[in-house]
Amino acid sequence: MLFVSIQDLEAAINYWRSQSPAVGEELHLCPEAAALAKPYALMIVQGAQRVPVDVLDETARLAIQNFFKNTNTN
C-alpha cells in the first residue's frame, strides 16, 4: 500500500475508538486513534484526499496496517 485515503483514515480512527473508547475527563484517545488523528487533521486542513504511507509515523503506520488486517478491508 503506497497511499492511505482520508476515508480509510476516518474508518481506522472509528475502528480504534470502538476497540478502545476515549477515557478520562479529557477523553484521551487510545494511542492508535491519536496517531491517526494527526495526519487526518492535516489532510482536512490541506484539502488532501490521500497521504503516502511513508510519511506516517510508526504508530500510525502500525495502526492503519492492523486496521486493514483486522477488518479485511483494502
pTM of the model: 0.89
Q: How far apart are the first and last CA of the chain?
A: 9
pLDDT value, residue 47: 96
Torsion angles phi and psi, residue 56, rounded to 5: -75, 145
Residue owning grid cell 496496517: 65
Contacts of 2 (CB under 8 A, 6+ apart): 52, 53
Could you tell me the residue ranges of all domains in the chain? 3-71
pLDDT value, residue 73: 64
C-alpha dihedral (56, 59, 62, 65), degrees to nearest 10: -50
Per-residue model confidence as pLDDT tens for the chain (74 residues) = 799 999 999 999 999 999 998 877 778 889 999 999 999 999 999 999 999 999 999 999 999 999 999 998 65
